Chain A
Amino acid sequence: MTGLARIGLLVVVMLSLVALFSPVLAPHSLTEQRLSARLQGPSAEHPFGRDEFGRDVLSRMMYGARVSMRVGLTVVSISAATGTLIGASAAYAGGWIDALVSSFLFNTFLAFPGILLAIALVAFRGPSLANLILALCVIGWVGYARLMRGQVLKVKEYDYVMAARALGAPGARILLGHILPNAIQPLVIQSTLGMAGAVLAEAGLSFLGLGVQEPIPSWGKMLDAGRAHLTTAPHMVVFPALAIMATVLAFNFLGDGLNKWLDPTRKRR
């Protein structure tokens, strides 16, 4: 594994630990306000300063990590499972089912640019953590489905699959027992990169006020709140921005590293 991938892995492990143990690790209460000390800059007691209600920014960011990781893991798991099921089944079935899924269903979902469909879904369903996760899954599954469709189309022509078919193995067994285990490697890489995408999308929707609601903190929401105090309390913007950047970079490093590590042709070079 490359040096950058190791850094990525280290950051991801640290972030996961912070997310998991934030109630224990956070130095201050999540909701404790002190209006007399609002917008106070970084100090020894509050290394990341205080927000517009005098709450500790570091503690809120630790809880924010929990939201980011929870959303990322849930969205990636559901999207990858759904995408794999749809993409692999379509490719294995072939014929009109594959044509319908690949040229109609995929293109319809891809016709909504960026996070527009997610914004639309949350706007109509109402902002909440559950609706945010639902919206990100609705836009997320297509990438995995396209990937797995391509993989299965390739693997299903291999000799050992033909042999299993000739021996009379049932379709579901061939797909689950023979094709999927050999097509799953890119899915691991895509899921790692997908975590970066999900963290970004969660922060983006929360920035627009369409994510988790008070009192639960989210990095995107903290960034949005900080915009109003950019001149007097830039720490409110800088720290959440750096956290989002570091998380996305870490997952991208890890994904790129895994890609190189798992690719046998690259390893030989």
Chain B
Amino acid sequence: MLIAPVVGAVITLVFLLIHLVPGDPVLNYLGEGATPQQVTDMRRRFGLDQSLPAQYANYWKQVVQGDLGTSFLDRKPVSEKIRRRYPATLQLAIGALLIALLMAIPLGVTAGIHPDAWQDHSASFLALLGISVPNFALGPMAILVFSVLLRWLPASGYGSPAHLVLPAVTLGAALAAILTRMIRSGVIEEMNRDYVRTARAKGLPEQKVVYTHVLKNGLIPVVTMVGLQFGVLLGGAIITERIFNWPGLGSLTIEAISTRDYPLVQGCILVIALTYILVNAMTDLLYRLLDPRIEFA
């Protein structure tokens, strides 16, 4: 991916978002009761009285300096608000990723080494279920079972590892399903290769053949998938954070949308998109490191 032009296009799109608001964003925010003087003052304060090219140039100048503008609501810097909420979202996304891997590796490997057996059918069924149950359905159901009925885990909040379990499982379930399918087909493909036959002929125990040789090669495409799906996790975090009252970037976005704090929404969207682009670029690099043949392709 050509990063610089894509980042430029993303920044431009995010800048244009505020100009998609039907009518005037300031009037929309202040409401019908606002006096013309209030509207004019606020427009001037946020630079919305300038021409479109001037606003665009200013936006770029600010973004390059790490300044994402000022919140309509309390006039505080958007970047400061995002910085406070960002770690919680990263924590949730990484937690979901780890849970997805912890579920997908044993399931995918078991299905892959027993193709068409009951283990394979059960894993495939679970994977299909994981793909079909959206996080906004899984989350409330998980709260109902594990918090309301069994009282094992907290239904919402932030702070302890127990608070992370339900949101991370809710967010990571779909990724676990996708990875299970991928690992399964990777393992089936690798199990038929010559090096596996050689390893077995050498008398290596089956577990070692699978976990040291097969899995190492079978996991390479998974790295790309994890990178691509990290974005889906960031997007899904918006819904998951709302379900569990998780104080991250997703719930900040929804709060900003409900109060029509347009600069804050723009900032949140931009930071999430840039994080995704960065993760994808890192995945590309990692993929090349893991599989040196990519360089020669």
**Residues of chain A at the chain B interface (Cβ within 8 Å):** 103-104, 107-108, 111-117, 119-121, 123-126, 196, 200, 203-204, 207-210, 220, 223-224, 226-227, 230-231, 234, 237-238, 240-241, 244-245, 248-249, 252
Contact = CB atoms under 8 A, between A and B. Distances in A.
B222 interface: no
5 contacts: A112-B269, A121-B20, A231-B148, A244-B134, A249-B132
Nearest to A108: B9
A224 B243 CA distance: 9
Given A116-B273, A119-B257, A125-B21, 20 more contacts: A111-B276, A113-B230, A113-B235, A116-B235, A116-B238, A119-B269, A121-B17, A123-B257, A124-B265, A126-B21, A204-B134, A204-B136, A207-B242, A209-B258, A223-B137, A224-B136, A241-B140, A241-B141, A248-B131, A248-B132
Interface string B128-166: 110111101110110110001000000000000000000
Contacts of A249: 128-129, 132
Interface string B7-22: 1011001100110111
Contact of A114 (B13, B234, B262): B234
A142 to B, nearest CB: 13
Contact of A115 (B5, B144, B235, B257): B235
B231 interface: yes
Given A241-B137, A245-B132, A210 B144 contact: no
Kindly state the interface size class of chain B when it binds its partner: 35 or more
Contacts of B239: 204, 207-208
A112 B18 contact: no
A78 to B, nearest CB: 18
A208 B243 contact: no
Contacts of B18: 124
Contacts of B297: none
Nearest to B262: A124
Contacts of B243: 227
Contact of A245 (B133, B236, B276): B133
Nearest to A252: B132
A210 to B, nearest CB: 7
B273 A227 contact: no
B6 A111 contact: yes
B64 interface: no
A117 B265 CA distance: 11
A237 B141 contact: yes
A238 B273 contact: no
